[in-house]
Structure 1
Amino acid sequence: MWANVVTLLCVLHSMEAVFMITLPSVEVEKKIEELGRRKPYVMFSPNDASSISKNLTNIEEEFHRQPTEAKNLVDLAESLNLTTLVKALEQTGLDNIIDHEGQYTLFAPTNEAFLNIPKWASNIPLKELLSFHVARGLIHGDEIQNDRLARTILSKRDIRLNIYKNGDVVTANGSPITAVNFTAHNGVLHIIDRVMVSIYERGGTIVKQLSRCPSFKTLTKLITIAGLNDALHAKGPFTLFAPSDEAFAKMPADCIKHLVDNPPMLRQVLLFHVAQGSWFSAGLEDGMSLESLQTSKLSIGIQDGSVMVAGKATVTSPDALGSNGVIHAIDTVIVPPSMEKKLAKIMSKAAKKQKRLIGSNKD
Structure 2
Amino acid sequence: MMRLLVLFAFVGFASALTIPELATQLGATELVKLVTQAGLADTLSSKGPFTVFGPTNDAFAKLPKSVLDLLMKNKQLLIEVLKYHVVSGSVYSSQLTNELTAPSLAPLSATAFVNIRFNIYNGGKLITADGSPVVLANQNASNGVIHVVNRVMWPLPFLNVPGLITREQAQFSTLLTAVEKANLVATLSGGPFTVFAPTNAAFAKIPADVLNKLLANITALTDVLTYHVISGTFWSASLSDGETPKTVEGKTVKISINAGKVSVNNANVQEADISVTNGVIHVIDTVLLPPSFNINSL
Give the TM-score category using the shorter length.
0.7 to 0.9
Partner SS for 2:221 = helix
Is the CA contact (8 Å cut-off) linking 1:152 and 1:159 kept in structure 2?
Answer: yes
User: Is 1:331 aligned to residue 277 of structure 2?
Assistant: no
Matching residue of 1:290: 245
Q: Distance in 2 between matches of 1:71 and 1:209?
A: 41
User: After the TM superposition, which of the residue ranges 148-157 and 243-252 deviates more from structure 2?
Assistant: 148-157
Matching residue of 2:41: 95
Q: Distance in 2 between matches of 1:167 and 1:245?
A: 37
Matching residue of 2:202: 247
Matching residue of 1:231: 187
* Equivalent residue letter for 1:215: Q
* Equivalent residue letter for 1:323: T
Is the CA contact (8 Å cut-off) linking 1:307 and 1:314 kept in structure 2?
Answer: yes
Out of 67, 92, 97, the residue aligned to residue 145 of structure 1 is: 97
Q: How does 1:101-140 map to 2 (within 5 A)?
A: 101-118=47-64, 121=67, 125-140=77-92
Matching residue of 1:196: 153
Change in CA separation of 1:109 and 1:257 when aligned onto 2, cut-off 3 Å: same
Out of 210, 219, 224, the residue aligned to residue 175 of structure 2 is: 219
User: After the TM superposition, which of the residue ranges 174-183 and 287-296 deviates more from structure 2?
Assistant: 287-296
User: Is 1:178 aligned to residue 135 of structure 2?
Assistant: yes
Matching residue of 1:163: 120
Q: Deviation of residue 119 (structure 1)? A: 5.2
Is the CA contact (8 Å cut-off) linking 1:200 and 1:323 kept in structure 2?
Answer: no
Matching residue of 2:261: 306
Greater RCO (Cα-Cα under 8 Å, separation 6 or more): 2
Partner SS for 1:298 = coil
Change in CA separation of 1:201 and 1:86 when aligned onto 2, cut-off 3 Å: same
* Equivalent residue letter for 1:308: S
Q: Deviation of residue 121 (structure 1)? A: 4.3
| Structure exhibiting the larger radius of gyration computed from Cα positions | 1
Q: Distance in 2 between matches of 1:82 and 1:126?
A: 16
Matching residue of 2:8: none
- C-alpha distance after superposition, 1:277-310 (max 9, x if no partner): 100111111221212111222221222322221x
Q: Distance in 2 between matches of 1:329 and 1:281?
A: 12
Is the CA contact (8 Å cut-off) linking 1:320 and 1:327 kept in structure 2?
Answer: yes
User: Is 1:269 aligned to residue 260 of structure 2?
Assistant: no
User: After the TM superposition, which of the residue ranges 219-228 and 121-130 deviates more from structure 2?
Assistant: 121-130
Q: Deviation of residue 345 (structure 1)? A: 2.1
Gapped regions of structure 1 (runs ≥ 5): 1-65, 347-363
- C-alpha distance after superposition, 1:64-109 (max 9, x if no partner): xx99x52221122122221111111111122232222532210000
- Greater than 4 Å deviation, 4+ residue runs: 119-124
Is the CA contact (8 Å cut-off) linking 1:157 and 1:323 kept in structure 2?
Answer: no
Partner SS for 1:317 = strand
Partner SS for 2:194 = strand
Change in CA separation of 1:274 and 1:102 when aligned onto 2, cut-off 3 Å: same
Question: % of aligned pairs identical?
Answer: 38
**TM-score scaled by length of structure 1:** 0.71
Q: Deviation of residue 120 (structure 1)? A: 6.5
Change in CA separation of 1:200 and 1:173 when aligned onto 2, cut-off 3 Å: same
Change in CA separation of 1:296 and 1:325 when aligned onto 2, cut-off 3 Å: same
- How many residues were matched structurally? 274
User: Is 1:187 aligned to residue 187 of structure 2?
Assistant: no
Q: Deviation of residue 237 (structure 1)? A: 1.1
* Equivalent residue letter for 2:226: L
Q: Distance in 1 between matches of 2:242 and 2:123?
A: 16
Structure number with the higher helix fraction is 1
* Equivalent residue letter for 2:162: V
* Equivalent residue letter for 2:217: N
Partner SS for 1:215 = helix
Q: Distance in 2 between matches of 1:95 and 1:225?
A: 51
Change in CA separation of 1:118 and 1:264 when aligned onto 2, cut-off 3 Å: farther
